Amino acid sequence: MMKNIRVLIVDDSAFMRKVLSDILLSHENITAVDTARNGKAALEKVKEFDPDVVTMDIEMPEMNGLQALKEIMSFSPRPVLMLSSLTKTGAESTIKAMELGAVDFIPKPSGSISLDIQKIKDEIIEKVLAASQVPFKNMKKKNSFAPPTTTSFEGGKEKYIVAIGTSTGGPRALQMVLRGLPRNLPAPVVVVQHMPPNFTKSLANRLDMIAEINVKEAENGDILRDGTVYIAPGGFHMEFVQKGKTLAVKLSQRDPVKGHRPSVDVMFESIAAQTTFKTIAIVMTGMGSDGAKGVIKLKETSMDTIVMTESENTSVVYGMPKAVKRTGLTDYSEDLDAISSKIIEQLEK
């Protein structure tokens, strides 16, 4: 039997506090224990009610959501879901929140006071339920980080493409992995992170600032180059077409797959159809099973494909990696802080 999940709602809008309470109370296993109108009040109520999950608005008076999140993570870590607007500023703040330890985010459909918030009722409930299941040891753990060592990759070896799929918990996981890759990586890296438009652009910009390797949001027609990371833009599938001795990015807005656009399966299946590169396919933290079908296709096409999954030990949500593991096709299951060195090790062979 599922336990009752106790949620604290933090938002400066009385309307949003009321509607979010009503949405959560509509689920038999969720209780809205209380609400707070700013970060300062939220800190007191976290101490008072010890909620299982906190939903946190970003823009608030007295103490904003980022400041409150930082405090919560320092004195009483727990799953926090950010609510953010679909703006460039909202996206940048959300990426920062992920770095500070927020487990996931819910984009408000129409600004800070979203009168139409009911239309994402199912998503809100699903994310609160998922957040409550996060084994918080994974969130609290300070992943050790060592800058990439200078590596002399020998020439004349087979060409590889590194393809990464992730979802919930992905921004922090990507930060960890990409910061461990050297600028002279002899392979392009392609990434699907489940996120809406605007957010992937902010994520790419942030990762480019903190990683040695070049990171950009993929654009239609981009020619894949070694030592560059291409992140699929929110709202678009990322596929590839042959372009001389490499591949070019082909973005499309065909139907979402299992509710996702971009889809990891779509990216993996497109890579399976090409013969230019051998593939290192990596599936990290995330809800659901996106990537498992694509891994099967990659291995069917070429048994030389190397499949890596993030371990249950470090995954924020062990859904996507578990689905791939169940296919029996995983070559390596690695803790997050070992993935970048394992990529380098494979490329050095």
The answer to whether the CB of 148 falls within 8 A of the CB of 181 is yes
* DSSP one-letter code for 344: H
DSSP secondary structure string for all residues of 82-126 = EEEESSHHHHHHHHHHHHHT--EEEEETTSSS-TTGGGGHHHHHH
Q: Quick one: tokens of 293?
A: 């079908």
- Report the largest interatomic distance among the alpha carbons of the chain, rounded to a whole angstrom: 63
Task: Say whether pLDDT at 139 is over 60.
Answer: no
The pLDDT value recorded for residue 197 is: 84
Known active-site residue 167: yes
Mean local confidence (pLDDT), 59-74? 94
The b/e string for 46-69 (b: 16+ C-beta within 10 A; e otherwise) is beeeebbbbbbbbbbeebbbbbbb
Here the tokens at position 268 are 């993996």
Task: Give dist(CA 234, CA 164) in Å, integer.
Answer: 15
Q: Which residues pair with 161 in a beta bridge?
A: 279
103-108 long-range contacts, CB within 8 A, separation 24+:
103/79, 103/131, 103/134, 103/139, 103/168, 103/169, 103/316, 104/130, 104/131, 104/168, 104/169, 105/81, 106/55, 106/81, 106/82, 107/83, 107/196, 107/199, 108/83, 108/84
**Structural domains for the chain:** 5-138 (3.40.50.2300), 160-348 (3.40.50.180)
Higher-confidence position of 72 and 109 = 72
Higher pLDDT, 88 or 295: 295
H or E segment at 14?
Answer: helix 14-25
Bridge partners (DSSP) of residue 336 are: none
Give the strand pairing for 80-85 and 160-166: unpaired
Q: Is the pLDDT of residue 115 over 70?
A: no
Token duo for residue 40: 């300062």
Q: What is the pLDDT of residues 253-285, one digit of tens each?
A: 999 999 999 999 999 999 999 999 999 999 999
Does a cis peptide bond (omega within 30 degrees of 0) precede residue 321?
no
Q: Does pLDDT of 155 surpass 80? A: no
| Catalytic site includes residue 208 | no
**Does the pLDDT of residue 147 top 80, yes or no?**
no
Averaged confidence pLDDT in the chain: 91
User: pLDDT above 90 covers what percent of the chain?
Assistant: 76
Q: Which two tokens stand for residue 38?
A: 């700013």
For residue 282, which of 270, 272, 268 has the smallest C-alpha distance? 268
Q: Would the pLDDT of 113 be above 90?
A: no
**Nearest CA to 190 among 250, 105, 260, 253?**
250
Model confidence at 189: pLDDT above 90: yes
pLDDT computed for residue 156 by the predictor:
56
Which residue out of 167, 263, 270, 311 is catalytically annotated? 167
Would the pLDDT of 344 be above 70? Answer: yes
Q: 253: how many CB neighbours lie within 10 A of its CB?
A: 9
Contact 251, 237 (CB under 8 A): yes
What's the rounded Cα separation, in Å, for the pair 170 and 163? Answer: 14
Catalytic residue (one of 114, 194, 226, 263): 194
pLDDT of residue 66: 95
pLDDT exceeds 80 at position 232: yes
Instruction: Give phi and psi for 26, each to the nearest 5.
Output: -70, -15
What is the pLDDT, as a whole number, of residue 133? 86
Q: For the residues 74-85, what does the mean pLDDT come to? A: 91
Q: What whole-number distance in Å separates Cα of residue 8 and Cα of residue 51?
A: 6
Catalytic option among 290, 311, 315, 340: 290
pTM, 2 dp: 0.90
Q: How many CA atoms lie within 13 A of 165 on its CB side?
A: 35
pLDDT at 118: 75
194 counts as catalytic: yes
- Inter-residue contact 64 to 92 (CB < 8 Å): no
Structure tokens at 11: 């938002």
